[in-house]
């Protein structure tokens, strides 16, 4: 559904979702600084965030910042249940709901105002019902575009409502920090800050060529559009997976063969399992390597036969990462490895041969993989069945099961990693 005239797009985002669910399940935790996890903070309550505690932080560092911090184990099945319940409430107000993660969604309420009132009144009703019926705080942004609605919901946090009416966009956006724009992370924020660009208004006023030289053409153009509130994207009620991916933050690790095999084996296991669960296979494999200075590069390869085999995916990813490292011989440490599979197809039967010829090989790349020893497809299927019955930890590849640094529970990763 295309965006309608007026501020009829809502972005609803549950506040500190995982921690809020834990406080709901155990009322004695309400009002206290808590963190889900242990060795690593998976999520933090607002009371903990006030001390500087945040997700992905080392547990020891979190305790230093907040000595009274309470660590709790995650109730992952409960997160799914509560997230689904909230989405059911949203669906009572409009059929045009685009769920983008377990705890957030976009809505178009242009066709619902004659039933429930103005978009702002609808947002208030949503917040009241989620609080009264489910017991969770939720922030809502109302605006003319998806991007602006998402920014508004972030400004509304915690547990608030912000409405940006037509004609008020620039007055709202200009004073806000650039990191509130969709897709801007710490590295990009730092580059912009070093160039004297701190607010969305300053980014909007900057010469496009200057921003593109600073961040690259594609990223510069995208952020320029967002700073100008140019976002024509429509609400998509049925999101077909375009890619399946996973990533692993490593801190600062010296690159070794063991590190590549273990980490990429773990990521390939996650991605391939999700591919098979969705009845998908993919032809384009992409890896992302982030170095110690946060500079990141990607390499990809499109194969002839769609794949969903864990072993095959790992082999392709290892070769791609080695290609990336060979192109950057001065880099000895990596801080993140990520993989994704795109160009998806629904396939009930997969040929196990990979057609990777040398014709499309870039100069300097290692020779293409002419032959890969594939395990029988029945092996992957047997592992999937065993995990479905006895849990994910029941069986797995040795390099994955016994890898170092396996700190984040798989159940949490499954909630956080969404097909896009």
Q: What angle do CA 79, 28, 20 make, to 5 degrees?
A: 30
User: Quick check: helix, strand or coil at residue 287?
Assistant: strand
The two three-digit tokens of residue 91, written as one number: 């669906």
Residue 77, pLDDT score: 83
- Range 12-27 burial, b when 16+ CB lie within 10 A, else e: bbbbbbbbbbbbbeee
Q: In this predicted structure, what is the pLDDT of residue 356?
A: 41
Q: In angstroms, rounded to a whole number, what is the distance separating the alpha carbons of residues 417 and 272? A: 13
The answer to whether the Cα torsion of 294, 330, 249, 243 is positive or negative is positive
Which tens digits make up the pLDDT trace of 19-55?
A: 999 999 999 999 999 999 888 898 999 999 999 999 8
Position 184 scores a pLDDT of 85
pLDDT in tens, 208-244: 999 999 888 888 898 999 999 888 888 887 655 578 8
Number of alpha carbons in the 13 Å side-chain half-sphere of residue 245: 16
Cis peptide before 279 (omega within 30 of 0): no
- Rounded to an integer, what is the distance from CA 59 to the centroid of its chain? 22
Nearest 5°: the CA angle 372, 376, 379 is 125
3-state secondary structure 328-370: CCCCCEEEEEEEEEEEEEECCCCCCCCCCCCCCCCCCCCCCCC
pTM, 2 dp: 0.66
Cα separation of 90 and 103, whole Å? 12
Is 116:5 a contact under the CB 8 Å cutoff? Answer: no
**SS3 category, 71:** strand
- Checking 299-304 for CB contacts under 8 A at 24+ apart, the result is 299/323, 299/324, 301/356, 302/343, 303/354, 303/355, 303/356, 304/354, 304/355, 304/356
Q: What is the model's pLDDT at position 378?
A: 58
Q: Are 413 and 246 in contact (CB under 8 A)?
A: yes
pLDDT for residue 32: 96
Cβ-Cβ contacts under 8 Å for 35 (sequence gap 6 or more): 19, 41, 42, 43, 44, 45, 48, 53, 59, 62, 69, 70, 71, 72
Please answer whether residues 130 and 108 qualify as being in contact, where contact means their C-beta atoms are separated by less than 8 angstroms. Answer: no
Q: Which residues of 204-222 are buried (b: 16+ CB within 10 A; e: fewer)?
A: bebeeeebbebbeeebbeb
- The span from the CA of 129 to the CA of 141, in Å, is 16
Q: Which of helix, strand or coil describes residue 21? A: helix
pLDDT in the model for residue 37: 87
Active-site residue numbers? 104
Reference 265, options 401, 369, 165; nearest CA is 401
Under DSSP, the state recorded for 199 is B
pLDDT at 295: 84
Tell me phi and psi for residue 36, to 5 degrees: -85, 125
Per-position DSSP letters for 101-143, written without gaps between them = ETTEEEEE-TTTHHHH-SHHHHHHHHHHHIIIII---EEEEEE
Give residues with Cβ within 8 angstroms of 212, minimum separation 6.
Answer: 220, 221, 224
Residue 406 has a pLDDT of 52
| pLDDT for the residue numbered 234 | 82
Could you report the average pLDDT of every consecutive run of 10 residues in the chain (420 residues)? 70 95 96 90 94 90 96 89 94 93 93 95 97 96 95 95 95 95 85 94 94 88 91 77 82 90 92 86 92 87 86 93 93 92 69 39 41 53 65 54 53 53
Q: What is the pLDDT of residue 362?
A: 44
Q: What pLDDT does residue 112 have?
A: 94
How many Å apart are CA 398 and CA 404, to the nearest integer? 12
Sign of CA dihedral 37, 40, 45, 51: positive
Q: What is the pLDDT of residue 252?
A: 83
């Amino acid at each position: 559904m295309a965006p309608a005239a007026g501020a009829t797009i809502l972005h609803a985002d549950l506040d500190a979702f995982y921690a809020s669910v834990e406080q709901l399940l155990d009322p004695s935790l309400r009002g206290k600084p808590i963190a889900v996890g242990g060795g690593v903070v998976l999520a933090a309550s607002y009371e903990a965030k006030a001390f500087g505690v945040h997700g992905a932080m080392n547990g020891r560092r979190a305790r230093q910042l907040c000595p009274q911090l309470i660590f709790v184990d995650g109730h992952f099945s409960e997160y799914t249940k509560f997230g689904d319940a909230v989405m059911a409430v949203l669906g009572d107000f409009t059929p045009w709901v685009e769920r983008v993660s377990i705890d957030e969604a976009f809505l178009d309420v242009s066709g619902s105002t004659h039933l429930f009132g103005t978009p702002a009144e609808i947002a208030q009703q949503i917040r009241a019902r989620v609080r009264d019926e489910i017991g969770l705080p939720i922030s809502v942004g109302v605006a003319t575009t998806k991007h602006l609605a998402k920014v508004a919901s972030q400004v509304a946090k915690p547990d608030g409502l912000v409405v940006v009416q037509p004609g008020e966009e620039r007055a709202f956006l200009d004073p806000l920090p650039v990191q509130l724009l969709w897709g801007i992370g710490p590295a990009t924020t730092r580059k912009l800050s070093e160039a004297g660009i701190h607010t969305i208004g300053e980014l909007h006023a900057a010469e496009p060529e200057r921003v593109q030289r600073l961040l690259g053409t594609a990223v510069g153009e995208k952020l320029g559009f967002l700073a100008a509130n140019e976002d024509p994207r429509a609400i998509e009620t049925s999101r077909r997976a375009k890619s399946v991916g996973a990533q692993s933050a490593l801190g600062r690790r010296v690159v070794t063969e063991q590190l590549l095999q273990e980490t990429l084996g773990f990521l390939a296991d996650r991605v391939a399992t999700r591919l098979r669960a969705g009845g998908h296979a993919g032809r384009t494999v992409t890896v992302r390597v982030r170095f110690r200075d946060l500079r990141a590069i990607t390499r990809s390869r499109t194969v002839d036969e769609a794949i969903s085999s864990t072993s095959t995916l790992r082999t392709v990813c290892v070769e791609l990462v080695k290609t990336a490292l060979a192109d950057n011989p001065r880099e000895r440490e990596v801080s993140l490895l990520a993989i994704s599979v795109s160009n998806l197809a629904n396939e009930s039967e997969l040929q196990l041969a990979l057609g990777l010829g040398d014709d499309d090989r870039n100069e300097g790349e290692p020779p293409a993989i002419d032959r890969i020893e594939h395990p029988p497809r029945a092996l992957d299927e047997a592992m999937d069945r065993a995990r479905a019955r006895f849990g994910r930890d029941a069986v797995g590849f040795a390099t994955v099961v016994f890898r170092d640094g396996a700190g984040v529970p798989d159940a949490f990763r499954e909630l956080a990693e969404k097909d896009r």
